[in-house]
Amino acid sequence: MRILLVEDEPDLGAAVQEHVRQAGHAVDWFQTLGASGAAMRTVAYDLLLLDLQLPDGRGLDFLRALRARRDAIPVVILTARDQISDRIEGLSAGADDYLVKPFDLNELIARLNAVARRYFGTVATAQQFGSVELELEARLARRDGAEVELTAREWAVLEVLVRRPNATVSREQIEDALYAFEQEIESNAIEVYISRIRRKLGRDFVRTARGLGYRIRS
């Protein structure tokens, strides 16, 4: 996923960004609502991690404004406010989940995955593509019954394609899902990942639509 993180605590922001990236997602991190709003006008994010107290305003006001204009982006609130009334207010404003600081970074990943399943239909049960069996949630891949080891980046590419079975996904769409603003993208990076996936899961597992992109046939 391409994730927007809005958090003004430098240490926490850096830790969350690094951990979520290690899980295979792209993360753009901003410390103000103004910069975050500007980013959302140029990037179609898959999920928003939102602190409630920012230097230039309240996260809840930002969230209410998103919902008022019918922006359905999944939102997970990250906050030190731990009262039941605070949680009720956040969820009522349109948040999909609520994590109280300090939180475990592995729990954060689990909650992101849970919210993504509700929105995008990614399930933990195995999905079969010919001789290949994938469990995205558990990060398990099997070819002809034998387990295959894939890197986090390879899983990230697979997830983009598996979300759209039989549809052609452009290289630009895959790059948008994998890379944040400040990350440099080598010109052949996606081709390299696709080549590695084919080597591990079969040459015909990912099909190329010349000049258009890639697809997986269900």
Angle between helices 59-68 and 33-40 (to 10 degrees): 30
What pLDDT does residue 181 have?
Answer: 63
Task: Indicate if the pLDDT at residue 124 is higher than 60.
Answer: no
* Nearest residue to 189 via CA among 215, 156, 211: 156
| pLDDT band at 147; cut points 50, 70, 90 | very high
CA separation for the pair 127, 136 (Å, rounded): 9
Instruction: For the beta carbon of residue 185, count every other beta carbon within 10 angstroms.
Output: 11
Per-residue pLDDT reduced to its tens digit, 24-70: 788 999 999 999 999 998 888 889 999 999 999 999 999 999 999 99
- Amino acid type, 206: V
pTM, entire model: 0.67
What Rg do the C-alpha atoms of the chain give, in angstroms?
18
Q: How far is CA 92 from the centre of its chain?
A: 23
In 3-state terms, what secondary structure has residue 17? helix
Cis omega before residue 102 (within 30°)? yes
* E strands present in the chain: 2-6, 26-30, 47-51, 53-54, 57-58, 75-79, 97-100, 127-129, 132-135, 140-143, 146-148, 207-209, 213-215
